[in-house]
Amino acid sequence: MRRSSLLTLPALLATSLAALWDVRASSPEEDFARETQAAKKAFDAGHYPEAIDRLQTCITLANRRFRDAVIAALPKPPVQFVAIPPAEPQQSNTANPMAAALTAVVGMPVEQRWRAIDGSASLRVRVLPNNPAARPLARAIASVDPESETRDVLELGPALALLERREKDLLVRVLVGESHVVEFHAMGVEESAITGMLDAQFARRIAAVLGP
């Protein structure tokens, strides 16, 4: 009997690990659907804190997918640059679930950083959906002096961008639609390398992710 138990132990462990793997391997769509259904069930039962917690998990899942879609839409960095992996969105465990859910809105900024292999230059991109900075940027673009040596307007198909040459760095802010901003902040990078990254295809890709 003892020999039989020992023989079946690996099989039991394999079965348990397989079951655990199946749970972990569920798709984001399945996870989102499961959490929304659980949130509705908790809400209908009057278990509102649980409903809020489930919805907070949905927001975390949506933010993760949103971040991945945004980063996939970004242009390729200059040659000899490597990406610095972005931080994983974390579900907040504050004492106030409602406050945590409100701070985890889908409009949260998404950031991607690159650095030169030799450490001589860096590039940071920030995507700011539904950001109040969009209106001032639109006004700044409209008021650029064509004779300016420090500012230029870039036409990127459906989007416009403001390029600002500063003493030690370069800043390009792209206006996407009427309410979204994408910032490219470069240090030690040639202007031609940055402008070469930005074109109408990029503008269309990021606009498709951010929406109107």
Q: DSSP letters of the chain?
A: -HHHHHHHHHHHHHHHHHHHHHHHT--HHHHHHHHHHHHHHHHHTT-HHHHHHHHHHHHHHHHHHHHHHHHHHSPPPPTTEEEEPPPPP-----S-HHHHHHHT-TT--EEEEEEETTSS-EEEEEEETT-TTHHHHHHHHHT--TT-SSEEEEEETTEEEEEEE-SS-EEEEEEETTTEEEEEEEES--HHHHHHH--HHHHHHHHHHH--
What is the model's pLDDT at position 212? 81
The mean pLDDT value for 77-95 works out to: 71
Percent of the chain with pLDDT over 90: 68
What is the model's pLDDT at position 125? 97
Sheet containing strand 151-156, strands side by side: 81-84, 110-116, 122-128, 180-187, 170-176, 159-165, 151-156
Residue 35 has a CB neighbour count (10 Å cut-off) of: 19
Q: Over the chain, what is the mean pLDDT?
A: 84
What is the model's pLDDT at position 21? 47
Provide the pLDDT confidence category of residue 121 given band limits of 50, 70 and 90: very high
What is the model's pLDDT at position 38? 94
Query: What are the b/e assignments for 186-211, b being 16+ CB within 10 Å?
Result: beebeeebbbebbeeebbebbbebbe
What is the model's pLDDT at position 163? 97
Q: 136: which 2 tokens?
A: 């001032």
Parse the chain into domains and list their residue ranges.
2-210
- Rounded distance, CA 14 to CA 154, Å? 58
Residue 198 has pLDDT above 60, yes or no: yes
Q: Which candidate, 157, 122, 151, places its Cα nearest to that of 137?
A: 151
Q: 18: which 2 tokens?
A: 């397989």
